[in-house]
Structure 1
Amino acid sequence: MNIKELLNRSDQFLAERGIESSRLDAEVLMADLLDMERINLYVKYDYPLKNNEIDSYREMIKKRAQRIPVAYITEKKEFMSLEFKVREGVLIPRPDTENLVEAVIEYCSQNEMESPQIIDVGTGSGAIAVSLAHYLENAKVVGVDVSPTALKIASHNMEKHELSERMSILKSDLLTEFIKRKITDIDIIVSNPPYISKSEMKDLDPEVKKEPKTALEAGEDGLDFYKSLIPQSEKIIKNGGKIFLEIGYQQAKAVKNIFGDNWTDVEVKKDYSENDRIVSATFNKKDPE
């Protein structure tokens, strides 16, 4: 059996099981199996597959038919033009989150920050933290998480991109470890938190439900994370420091309302689809009267 024949069969098999991106997924999995760019499949349609390749590919297709995300099957995902290892137990990086990284990079560039101290809260695979350390060559970045799986995967991605000299991974429940250590000089706090409400969870696609619930759900209104992180941030961020948070497309007003009197310049930025996606604010602590 050649590539074209097996792709056609797999496309039909996945489509019959409700996979809308059946052809794309079949091609991505085939390219991963053969360790080639997807575009090269078209010029090698007649390539005869070996029996062990056919068997391995069929196992991949079976997993996809069970609605396991492609990224969990291939154990990799591109983000900010960098390749990241992912696996079950960590959130799969989304293109929308690139807006968050780009906003931080733009802010550092515009303000000519020489060596910003950055914390990525809920780092997951480390996609945000690694990307910031990669593109901000003098930044010092810490990715924090409570999940042992996330800490392991984020550490792998940090080492994969050779960033250990300027980056570290730390186990912490939000910012509690920094508060314990009386850190007070952080320039930037960034996070793509869980922001899906309990009622919204049941309507998620089957693939999304395969991702860790703790990285998705944030209480009855989807705001639990913000209500905890923003007050904690005030204890470790320096005066004039900045926070950048990804939000759900309907959450801008609610998240803005969580910021108290110590925050100024509260702004909302849209993503590529013109949906509200990022809330940023500047910490300016008011002196007690």
Structure 2
Amino acid sequence: MQKREVRWLLSKKYNGKLTSFAWRDIHKLKGGIPVDYLISYVNFLGCKISLSEKPLIPRCETEYWVDRAIKGYKGVRPLKGLTPILPVLDIFSGSGCIGIAILKHLPCSKVVFSDSENNCIEQIEINCKLNRINPARYKIVKSDVFENIPKKEKFDGIFANPPYISTHSTDIQDSVLLNEPSSALFGGEDGLKYIDKFLKMARGFLKKDGRIFMEFDHPQKEQVKSLLEKYGYKNYKFKKDQFSRWRYLEYGKNI
């Protein structure tokens, strides 16, 4: 536990006051409970994201690349009557932070959220309501990768933050390992189980000029490149996060 986490907790949840309830949370913080779970929400690109159902806590690296991806769509405008013209898939949604940020910052967008976990399905609905998203602009689908996504649906953007940590990894903090959902963290022995499944099928759900954005762990760049080549991807770029580490890829005909 760090002093800045205590200050953050007191500031966000207790208006800086050291109450008896605050002391209780400080003891939980000492025990390894992540401060964001104790506060029960995070900010993500100007959206308030509740963590009440204990989804994966959104990371700043994800916020960084999603911000840049959204800016790439800023030129797209709604049709007359604000009809959404930018269908987007947020797959491995977790808290729904990515899709909700897209809905907030791109009025032309309509998002399909997809996750395999019941708690995440509930969390996405909570967060859409919390951020006052028009229900006509989104749909939530329980699905293992693309299993329950209708094959006829095509998207202008597919955003993916799959589980990508190896089950053999020794670099995970205890507070993460013991508190955050393992289903959102681990991608099999090599960390590539869900990345492989995703890349194998993703282009089949993409419109002609659509784009794919996918996060991965920075040491996985060459392995991800091998999978891209295996499945015939041609026009893609690897991009770094704010810490100068390889963090995500962008695929599309016009990148």
What TM-score, normalized by structure 2, do the two folds share?
Answer: 0.89
Kept in 1, the 8 Å contact 2:53–2:120? The answer is: no
Per the TM alignment, residue 55 of structure 1 is displaced from its structure 2 partner at its CA by 2.1
Aligned to 2:5: 25
- Match among 143, 146, 162 for residue 193 of structure 1: 162
- Determine the structure 2 residue equivalent to 1:170: 141
**Unmatched 5+ stretches in structure 1:** 1-18, 42-48, 285-289
Q: Which residue of 1 aligns with 2:198?
A: 229
| CA RMSD in angstroms, aligned pairs only | 2.0
1:221-267 CA-to-partner distances (Å, cap 9, x unmatched) read 11111110112213222223211001111112211221246422210
Single out whichever of 117-126 and 53-62 deviates more from structure 2.
Answer: 53-62
Tell me the distance in 2 between the aligned counterparts of 1:190 and 1:171.
Answer: 16
Q: Which runs of 5+ in 2 are unaligned?
A: 79-84
1:204 to 168, 172, 177: 172
Structure 1 residue aligned with 2:120: 150
Q: Does 2:129 correspond to 1:159?
A: yes
Q: Is the 8 A contact 1:121 1:192 kept in 2?
A: yes
Which residue is 2:207 aligned to?
238
Could you tell me which amino acid in structure 1 is paired with residue 42 of structure 2?
A: K
Q: 1:174 Cα deviation (Å)?
A: 1.1
Aligned partner of 2:59 among 88, 94, 105:
94
Aligned AA (2:219): Q
Structure 1 contact 252–279 (Cα < 8 Å) conserved: no
Partners of 1:156 and 1:146 in 2: CA distance: 16
1:75 to 1:261, Cα distance in 2 relative to 1, 3 A:
closer
TM-score between both structures, scaled by the size of structure 1: 0.79
Q: State the 1:150 CA deviation.
A: 0.7
Structure of greater relative contact order (alpha carbons < 8 Å, 6+ residues apart): 2
Alignment of 1:26-175 (within 5 A): 26-34=6-14, 36=15, 41=16, 54-87=19-52, 89-109=54-74, 112=76, 114=78, 115-163=85-133, 164-175=135-146
Amino acid at match of 1:136: L
Letter in 1 for 2:251: A
Give the equivalent residue in structure 1 for 2:189.
220
Q: Does 1:273 align with 2:253?
A: no
Q: Structure 1 residues 113, 237: closer, same or farther in 2, change over 3 A?
A: farther
> What is the rounded CA distance, in whole Å, between the counterparts of 1:147 and 1:255 in structure 2?
25
Give the distance between the partners of 2:38 and 2:234, measured in 1 at CA.
Answer: 44
Post-superposition Cα deviations, 1:199-223, rounded to whole Å, max 9, x if no partner, equal 11x4311111110011111111111
Among the aligned pairs, what percent are the same residue? Answer: 27
Cα contact 1:184–1:238 (8 A) shared by 2: no
Task: For residue 241 of structure 1, give the secondary structure of its aligned residue in structure 2.
Answer: strand
How many residues get paired?
Answer: 245
Counterpart CA distance in 2 for 1:261 and 1:67 is 41
Q: Check conservation: 1:237, 1:283, Cα contact below 8 A.
A: no
Contact map agreement 1:72 1:88 (CA 8 A) in 2:
no
SS across alignment from 1:199: coil
> What secondary structure sits across from 2:148 in the alignment?
helix
Change (3 A) 1:172 1:281: same
> Residues 263 and 282 of structure 1 are in contact (CA less than 8 Å); yes or no, is this contact kept in structure 2?
no
- C-alpha separation between the residues in 2 aligned to 1:85 and 1:109? 26
Amino acid at match of 1:177: N
Which SS does the other structure have where 1:162 is aligned? coil
